[in-house]
């Protein structure tokens, strides 16, 4: 399994190095630096040299690297690298060179705990935080009792939850966050439109609550009551947090679980049918001769006019030899960014039903190359609150606990796109 | 001795030593942190060993962990001093705090100093029976660590039996770690050649694991699923039971759990006779596989490589899901390349139109490598789906119209394959291709165009002029182009003898006299003799009908495919290569590959040959292995590695298995034909050998002085099948 774990900065300096097995030397880090960090043309996340395989993931300005010498489980190694970054993020905010340097003792403590002999162990942030803290723990006889509680939790059937959680007010927040993936052809036909949904939950519930969760999806409804199938959403697939009882979902389609304390991702789903596209983009781009390009890009908000899209950012590509772009917009700000060869049009708020048009005029320098402009797609980022592209609605969230307390539940919906809403022209 | 190497009385280490012995707690702790920081950047702080050791006995858990971290690093270099730490370790394993107990046993297993091992057994014995599951799970892995160091000790102390008993532990995490430890020991034992199975899996164990599966952590699930994959079910009923219990794991959020579950189901599905059940299982597999594509790119890539394998086994698996594999503009290249490959696999008559417009879009992107692959994919689609061939050709023509050099060149290469698959169907495009003659500067593109000209020499009016251009620059061209030119001119001569007499004379002369490649020269001699002795035979050989090409449904042999499916999210399945080829057992590994191949009588010989080459190549790479004996500096091995390994970036590595290049087909046919004909018709093969041997020493002399021994026999009929292919292809 994982023989060594490293973190490198962009220059290839070792920030963290931990060997789990003796089949490697610490100097293996130099090999990675030479082969990957200083190699500008790396075309695979796994590099095998001789019998040593390097798995690397780039996070901000860091390389998170796991090294193995065996036929390791590739999916597991990458999942682990990402898990490490998410743990690190929840411990010290952002994961970058500075944070790693400032917290290296903590990181050593963490990676010592979450991998043993190359096998990943408990990696639930909530549990880890009980015994790996930023302040030092003094182990005395009084703490011993506490730590046996911790260890039972770290190994128990609900390793993600402490038993003695207490809140004055019992609340649960459910966020349904949908990311829309769209690629639309130049002719305006939808090549691909689907929704990646995440259901995030923040549970502030006392004791060991037993939750049941229901959606208006067909997966659930078809089995339970056939009458409610009218506005049902068809989900192609869903995956659950490890607290959800998969066998129960498999047999009766009910989502039941004991939630971890605090924030976690309860469920992920995918839907491809009846995807509502919140923004419709109609681009008209004309190349006039070899020195000019004219743009008319219309954005139409295709949803109820009580709602609005916020943080709308359109990135409209320009040819590589553009010198300047005149931009005219009725709303927001548009600016040509020469470094990225795009015009960035930022609209802070767009009401439902509204329609706005960007018109632009790009001046090009004359070039000698014959290479035609590749016309990368227009990329749109946005957020629409209280709107789901798939039409998914949370039907119910029931909380059962021994003490039978009342709990308050809040549900929020958000549809967004970042880097995946692409329109060709 | 040590006094010579004693650190200078000043400098950082000296200061650190002073701080480590400070009377203030905070100062000492801070010094330890600085020592660890220095250790990370590979400064030598081993000289501080005794000073650090003094700080081991402490109530501060964090400080203890830091000291342990230091110990793990330097225990090997300071074995005499480690012994001083033993006492504290043993004492810690009796600590009332389970975290401390676990920490001590975990660290002791990592120290790897001979002297400390003897002290490890008793505490380990104790910890394996600890009340606290956290300690037990740590101790379970410690057995694997011990086995790695000194297997005898594990066996003597009966730790193995104890581990096997722990599979029945009430705590699922302990079960998971026990299973992981046993699997590790099993793997180590197999590698060391221990004949006894160290981890036999019984029905009883499987049932216990199936219970634990639903309760343990995600990583534990992977460990358990791996064991389930190794188990051979007693009957179909049991296989069905395992599949049913594993299927819910498809819904797990962790990709490695999903893929491991798919592996288990793929393995146990082999024994399921009910057609309906396997269909249901396959149907349930599809959505989770697609969902894997919303993971981060690295995980996506692993998933895509595995989907590629699964599709080779079950082409119907994702038949309606083509669109999810469309590339996003900002996907990393390695993801795009895999998606392309899968898109071609999923291509069918129903979805070919959106596919082609997508591929055309990709062919206009910026990355040259990706553009080429997209064009190749268009060609593969044309070859795969007869009905779509014409549409593909039209797309290719449009692309040629862009006149971007590498696009045109790749399109020409692809057109050659389309001509081979559909002879005399698309002759109309030949003028367009020939119009771009000047654009071509890559050997493969040139060779392809020359092949097309030679093949259709009869129908191209100015074929002699076109080929003449290449004959004029013959000696400047690369060898593949020379070979193609030679063959094309001979083809032209056989079809239009009147107009190309001079050309063939010229090319044969140049090839035999001025060319320094033995292949080109020998082929020229063969043609020359064929033409001078029996033009009829020459026609039969050179203008023979070639076997049609098809798109291989699999890129690996059937047996290897089964083996790889059993290793689903592992590196082997990502590389599409058996583990022995990249995991360092050096020569032995490669040998076993060959042995295994030798057993497969039904396997296609061509594939076998290809595999052996892969294995041989890997063997060469293994020589560069970072040997443990290399001293600590590592620099030389790293630097030495760069020069040679630079040619083998992993990407190239990966693609060795997937023969997207149609020329590979030629090679395999070549190899296959050769091997097939040798035992069947030894006589003509000898005859050919005679040519080769005889011709070489005669090289400077004119071929007309033919010694009797060499009197060229016309190729005999029985061998025709094999050799026709071999020569006619060029």
**Residues of chain A contacting B102 with CB distance shorter than 8 Å:** 151
Which of B638, B639, B643, B652 should one mutate to test binding to chain A, selecting the residue with the greatest count of A CBs within 10 A? B638
B140 against B190, higher pLDDT: B140
User: How far off is chain A from B584, nearest CA to CA, in Å?
Assistant: 5
Query: For residue A144, is it within any domain?
Result: no
Lowest-pLDDT range of A149-163, A257-271, B29-43, B418-432: A149-163
User: How far off is chain A from B699, nearest CA to CA, in Å?
Assistant: 43
Q: Tokens 């971890």 — which residue?
A: A260
List the single residue in A with minimal CA-CA distance to B99: A147
Per residue in B427-475, pLDDT tens? Answer: 888 888 888 888 888 999 999 999 999 988 888 888 888 898 889 888 8
Judgement on whether residues A29 and A110 belong to the same structural domain of the protein? yes
Rounded to whole angstroms, how far apart are CA atoms B146 and B153? 8
ipTM here: 0.83
Structure tokens that stand for B134 in this block:
């956290």
* b/e A17-29 (16+ beta carbons within 10 angstroms → b): bbbbbebbbbbbb
Judgement on whether residues A119 and A79 belong to the same structural domain of the protein? yes
| pLDDT over 70 (residue B519) | yes
Lowest-pLDDT range of B18-32, B199-213, B226-240, B292-306: B18-32
* Helix (H), strand (E), coil (C) string for B471-516: HHCHHHCCHHHHHHHHHHHHHHHHHCHHHHHHHHHHHHHHHHHCCC
Mean pLDDT, range A54-74, rounded to an integer: 92
**Residues of chain B contacting A43 with CB distance shorter than 8 Å:** 333-334, 649-651
Q: Other CB atoms closer than 10 Å to residue B103's CB: what's the count? A: 24
User: Could you tell me the pLDDT band of residue A135, with boundaries at 50, 70 and 90?
Assistant: low
Judgement on whether residues A395 and A268 belong to the same structural domain of the protein? yes
Provide the CA B371 distance to its chain's centre, in angstroms: 23
Per residue in A347-403, pLDDT tens? Answer: 999 999 999 999 999 998 877 665 678 788 999 999 999 999 998 889 889 999 888
Which of A74, A80, A85 should one mutate to test binding to chain B, selecting the residue with the greatest count of B CBs within 10 A? A74
Which residue of B214, B625, B650 is in closest CB contact with A44?
B650
Which of A73, A269, A421 should one mutate to test binding to chain B, selecting the residue with the greatest count of B CBs within 10 A? A73
Query: For residue A160, is it within any domain?
Result: no
B105 with B145: CB under 8 angstroms?
Answer: no
Rounded to whole angstroms, how far apart are CA atoms B413 and B378? 12
Per residue in A152-168, pLDDT tens? Answer: 767 766 677 777 788 88
**Residues of chain A contacting B60 with CB distance shorter than 8 Å:** 136-139
Sign of the dihedral through C-alpha B16, B21, B22, B25: positive
Rounded to whole angstroms, how far apart are CA atoms B614 and A266? 45
* A142 vs B: CB within 8 A: no
Domain that holds residue A332: 279-385
Which residue of A27, A30, A50 is in closest CB contact with B625?
A50
pLDDT of residue B60: 82
CB-CB under 8 Å, B642 with A73: no
A6 with A29: CB under 8 angstroms?
Answer: yes
Write the CA distances from A67 to A83, A118, A236, A408, integer angstroms.
Answer: 16, 10, 35, 47
| pLDDT over 80 (residue B585) | no
Query: For residue A67, is it within any domain?
Result: yes
User: Could you tell me the pLDDT band of residue B39, with boundaries at 50, 70 and 90?
Assistant: confident
Which of A82, A155, A243, A422 should one mutate to test binding to chain B, selecting the residue with the greatest count of B CBs within 10 A? A155
Rounded to whole angstroms, how far apart are CA atoms B533 and B706? 11
| pLDDT over 50 (residue B590) | no
The percentage of chain B sitting over the pLDDT mark of 70, rounded to a whole number, equals 78
Domain ranges of chain B: 443-543
pLDDT of residue B5: 47
pLDDT of residue A144: 61
Per residue in B641-684, pLDDT tens? Answer: 333 333 334 434 333 444 344 444 343 444 433 333 333 333 33
pLDDT of residue B522: 93
Mean pLDDT, range A235-254, rounded to an integer: 85
**Residues of chain A contacting B287 with CB distance shorter than 8 Å:** 236-237, 270
3-class SS at B187?
A: helix
What single DSSP character describes residue B705? S
| pLDDT over 70 (residue A220) | no
Judgement on whether residues A269 and A395 belong to the same structural domain of the protein? yes
Rounded to whole angstroms, how far apart are CA atoms B723 and B684? 9
| pLDDT over 90 (residue B223) | yes
Per residue in B311-322, pLDDT tens? Answer: 999 988 998 889
Judgement on whether residues A267 and A412 belong to the same structural domain of the protein? yes
pLDDT of residue A369: 61
B549 with B663: CB under 8 angstroms?
Answer: no
The continuous run of DSSP H or E covering A264 comes out as strand A262-271
Rounded to whole angstroms, how far apart are CA atoms B295 and B569? 15
Per residue in B556-565, pLDDT tens? Answer: 888 899 989 9
SS3 content of chain B, % helix, strand, coil (to 5): 70, 0, 30
3-class SS at A244?
A: strand
What single DSSP character describes residue B581? G
Sign of the dihedral through C-alpha B65, B69, B71, B76: positive
Query: For residue A226, is it within any domain?
Result: yes
Judgement on whether residues A257 and A197 belong to the same structural domain of the protein? yes
Rounded to whole angstroms, how far apart are CA atoms A235 and A220? 10
pLDDT of residue A404: 85
Query: For residue A63, is it within any domain?
Result: yes
Q: Tokens 């005898």 — which residue?
A: B152
The percentage of chain A sitting over the pLDDT mark of 70, rounded to a whole number, equals 90
Judgement on whether residues A11 and A112 belong to the same structural domain of the protein? yes
Query: For residue A165, is it within any domain?
Result: no
CB-CB under 8 Å, A245 with B98: no
Average confidence score pLDDT of chain B: 79
Domain boundary among A129, A152, A185: A129
List the single residue in A with minimal CA-CA distance to B399: A372
CB-CB under 8 Å, B141 with A119: yes
| pLDDT over 70 (residue B16) | yes
pLDDT of residue B297: 93
Per residue in A281-314, pLDDT tens? Answer: 999 999 888 888 999 999 999 999 999 999 999 9
Q: Domain holding A403: CATH number? A: 2.60.40.1170
The Cα angle at residue B32 between residues B28 and B34, in degrees rounded to 5: 115
User: How far off is chain B from A82, nearest CA to CA, in Å?
Assistant: 9
**Residues of chain A contacting B192 with CB distance shorter than 8 Å:** none
Which residue of A44, A69, A246 is in closest CB contact with B249?
A246
Judgement on whether residues A392 and A266 belong to the same structural domain of the protein? yes
**Helix pair angle (B535-542, B518-533), 10° resolution:** 130
Rounded to whole angstroms, how far apart are CA atoms B680 and B666? 21
- Rank A77-91, B54-68, B655-669, B690-704 by mean pLDDT and report only the highest: A77-91
* A108 vs B: CB within 8 A: yes
Which residue of B291, B297, B333 is in closest CB contact with A239?
B291
B576 with A48: CB under 8 angstroms?
Answer: no
Judgement on whether residues A237 and A94 belong to the same structural domain of the protein? no
Structure tokens that stand for B539 in this block:
């026609």
Judgement on whether residues A176 and A305 belong to the same structural domain of the protein? no
Rounded to whole angstroms, how far apart are CA atoms B463 and B461? 6
Lowest-pLDDT range of A120-134, B211-225, B270-284, B716-730: B716-730
Structure tokens that stand for B579 in this block:
């583990």
Query: For residue A318, is it within any domain?
Result: yes
* Helix (H), strand (E), coil (C) string for B526-564: HHHHHHHHCHHHHHHHHCCCCCCCCCCCCCCCHHHHHHH
A365 against B632, higher pLDDT: A365
Mean pLDDT, range B130-137, rounded to an integer: 90
Query: For residue A140, is it within any domain?
Result: no
Q: Other CB atoms closer than 10 Å to residue B432's CB: what's the count? A: 14
CB-CB under 8 Å, B649 with A42: yes
pLDDT of residue B726: 37
Between the two ends of chain A, the Cα-to-Cα distance in Å is: 47
Sequence-distant (6+) residues with CB within 8 A of B11 are none
Which residue of A27, A159, A239 is in closest CB contact with B173?
A159
pLDDT of residue B591: 43
**Residues of chain B contacting A70 with CB distance shorter than 8 Å:** 187, 583
pLDDT of residue A370: 56
**Residues of chain A contacting B59 with CB distance shorter than 8 Å:** 138-140
Which of B219, B286, B579, B620 should one mutate to test binding to chain A, selecting the residue with the greatest count of A CBs within 10 A? B219
CB-CB under 8 Å, B584 with A31: no
List the single residue in B with minimal CA-CA distance to A57: B298
B481 against B711, higher pLDDT: B481
What's the farthest any 2 CA atoms get from each other in chain A? 83
The Cα angle at residue B432 between residues B426 and B433, in degrees rounded to 5: 80
Number of domains comprising chain A: 3
Judgement on whether residues A12 and A41 belong to the same structural domain of the protein? yes
Mean pLDDT, range B346-359, rounded to an integer: 92
Q: Domain holding A40: CATH number? A: 3.30.450.60
Q: Other CB atoms closer than 10 Å to residue B331's CB: what's the count? A: 17
Judgement on whether residues A264 and A180 belong to the same structural domain of the protein? yes
């Amino acid at each position: 399994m994982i023989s060594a774990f490293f973190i490198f900065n962009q220059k290839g300096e070792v920030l963290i190095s931990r060997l789990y097995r003796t089949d490697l030397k610490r100097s293996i880090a130099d090999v990675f630096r030479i082969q990957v960090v200083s190699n500008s043309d790396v075309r695979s996340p796994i590099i095998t040299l001789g019998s040593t395989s390097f798995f690397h993931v780039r996070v901000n300005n860091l390389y998170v690297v796991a090294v193995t010498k065996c036929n390791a489980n590739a999916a597991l190694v990458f999942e682990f690298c990402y898990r490490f970054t998410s743990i690190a993020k929840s411990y010290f905010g952002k994961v970058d060179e500075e944070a790693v340097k400032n917290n290296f003792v903590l990181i050593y403590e963490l990676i010592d705990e979450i991998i043993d002999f190359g096998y990943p162990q408990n990696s639930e942030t909530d549990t880890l935080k009980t015994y790996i803290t930023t302040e030092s723990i003094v182990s005395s006889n009084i703490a011993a009792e506490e730590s046996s509680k911790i260890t039972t939790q770290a190994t128990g059937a609900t390793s993600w939850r402490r038993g003695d959680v207490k809140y004055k007010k019992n609340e649960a927040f459910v966020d349904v966050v949908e990311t829309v993936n769209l690629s639309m052809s130049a002719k305006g036909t939808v090549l691909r439109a689907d929704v990646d949904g995440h259901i995030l939950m923040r549970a502030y519930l006392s004791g060991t609550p037993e939750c049941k969760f229901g959606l208006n999806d067909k997966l659930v409804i078809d089995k339970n009551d056939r009458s409610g199938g009218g506005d049902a959403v068809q989900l192609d697939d869903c995956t659950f947090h490890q607290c959800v009882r998969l066998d129960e979902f498999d047999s009766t389609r009910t989502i039941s679980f004991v939630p971890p304390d605090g924030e976690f991702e309860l469920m992920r789903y995918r839907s491809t049918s009846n995807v509502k596209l919140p923004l419709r983009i109609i681009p008209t781009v004309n190349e006039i001769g070899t020195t000019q390009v004219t743009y008319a890009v219309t954005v139409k908000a295709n949803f109820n006019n009580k709602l609005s899209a916020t943080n709308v950012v359109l990135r409209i590509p320009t040819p590589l030899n553009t010198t300047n772009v005149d931009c005219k917009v009725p709303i927001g700000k548009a600016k040509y960014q020469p470094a990225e060869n795009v015009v960035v049009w930022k609209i802070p708020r767009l009401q439902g039903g509204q329609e706005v048009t960007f018109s632009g005029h790009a001046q090009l320098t004359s070039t000698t190359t014959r290479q035609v402009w590749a016309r990368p797609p227009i990329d749109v980022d946005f957020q629409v609150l209280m709107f789901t592209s798939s039409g998914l609605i949370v039907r119910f969230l029931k909380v059962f606990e021994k003490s039978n307390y009342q709990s308050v539940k809040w549900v929020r919906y958000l549809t967004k796109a970042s880097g995946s809403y692409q329109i060709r022209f | 001795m040590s006094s010579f190497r004693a650190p200078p009385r000043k400098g950082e280490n000296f200061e650190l030593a002073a701080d480590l012995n400070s009377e203030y707690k905070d100062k000492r702790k801070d010094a330890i942190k600085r020592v660890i920081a220095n250790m990370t950047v590979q400064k030598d702080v081993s000289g501080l060993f005794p000073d650090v050791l003094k700080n081991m006995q402490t109530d501060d858990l964090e400080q203890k962990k830091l000291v342990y971290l230091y110990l793990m690093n330097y225990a090997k270099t300071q074995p005499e001093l480690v012994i001083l730490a033993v006492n504290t370790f043993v004492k810690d394993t009796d600590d009332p705090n389970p975290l401390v107990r676990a920490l001590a046993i975990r660290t002791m297993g990592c120290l790897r100093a001979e002297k400390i091992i003897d002290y490890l057994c008793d505490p380990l014995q104790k910890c394996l029976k600890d009340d606290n599951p956290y300690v037990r799970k740590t101790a379970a892995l410690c057995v694997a660590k011990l086995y790695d160091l000194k297997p005898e000790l594990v066996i003597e102390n009966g730790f193995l039996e104890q581990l096997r008993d722990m599979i029945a532990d009430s705590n699922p995490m302990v079960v998971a770690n026990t299973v992981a430890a046993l699997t590790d020991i099993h793997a180590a034992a197999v590698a060391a050649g221990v004949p006894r199975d160290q981890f036999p899996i019984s029905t009883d164990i499987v049932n216990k694991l199936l219970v634990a599966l639903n309760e343990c952590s995600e990583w534990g699930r992977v460990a358990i699923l791996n064991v389930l994959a190794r188990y051979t079910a007693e009957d179909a009923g049991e296989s069905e039971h395992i599949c049913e219990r594993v299927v819910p794991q498809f819904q797990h959020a962790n990709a490695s759990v999903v893929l491991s579950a798919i592996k288990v189901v793929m393995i146990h599905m082999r024994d399921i006779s009910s057609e309906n059940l396997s269909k249901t299982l396959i149907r349930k597999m599809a959505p989770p596989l697609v969902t894997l594509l919303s993971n981060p790119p690295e995980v996506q890539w692993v998933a895509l490589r595995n989907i590629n394998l699964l599709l080779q086994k079950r082409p119907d698996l994702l038949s309606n899901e083509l669109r999810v594999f469309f590339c996003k503009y900002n996907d990393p290249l390695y993801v795009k390349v895999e998606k392309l490959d899968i898109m071609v696999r999923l291509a069918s008559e129903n979805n070919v139109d959106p596919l082609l417009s997508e591929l055309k879009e990709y062919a206009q992107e910026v990355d040259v490598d990706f553009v080429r692959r997209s064009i190749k994919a268009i060609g593969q689609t044309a070859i795969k789906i007869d009905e779509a061939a014409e549409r593909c050709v039209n797309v290719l023509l449009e692309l040629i119209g862009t006149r971007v050099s590498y696009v045109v060149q790749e399109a020409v290469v692809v057109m050659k394959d389309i001509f081979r698959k559909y002879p005399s169907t698309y002759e109309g495009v030949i003028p367009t291709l020939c119009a771009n003659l000047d654009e071509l500067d890559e050997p493969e593109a040139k060779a392809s165009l020359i092949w097309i000209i030679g093949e259709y020499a009869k129908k191209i009016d100015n074929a002699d002029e076109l080929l003449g251009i290449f004959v004029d620059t013959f000696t400047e061209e690369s060898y593949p182009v020379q070979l193609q030119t030679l063959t094309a001119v001979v083809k032209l001569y056989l079809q239009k003898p009147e107009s190309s007499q001079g050309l063939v004379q010229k090319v044969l002369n140049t090839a035999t006299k001025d060319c320094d490649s033995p292949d080109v020269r020998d082929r020229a001699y063969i043609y020359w003799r064929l033409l001078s002795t029996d033009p009829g035979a020459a026609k039969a050989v050179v203008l023979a009908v070639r076997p049609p090409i098809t798109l291989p449904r699999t890129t690996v042999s059937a047996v290897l495919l089964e083996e790889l499916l059993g290793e689903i999210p592992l590196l082997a399945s990502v590389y599409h290569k058996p583990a022995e080829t990249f995991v360092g057992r050096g020569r032995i590994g490669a040998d076993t590959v060959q042995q295994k191949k030798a057993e497969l009588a039904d396997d296609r010989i061509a594939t076998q040959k290809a595999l052996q080459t892969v294995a041989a190549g890997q063997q060469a790479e293994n020589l560069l292995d970072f040997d443990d004996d290399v001293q600590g500096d590592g620099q030389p091995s790293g630097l030495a590695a760069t020069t040679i390994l630079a040619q083998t970036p992993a990407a190239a590595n990966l693609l060795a298995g997937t023969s997207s290049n149609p020329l590979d087909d030629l090679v395999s046919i070549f190899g296959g034909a050769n091997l097939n004909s040798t035992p069947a018709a030894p006589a003509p093969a000898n005859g050919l050998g005679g040519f080769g041997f005889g011709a070489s020493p005669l090289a400077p002399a004119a071929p007309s002085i033919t010694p009797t021994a060499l009197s060229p026999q016309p190729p005999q009929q029985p061998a025709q099948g094999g050799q026709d292919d071999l020569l006619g292809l060029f």
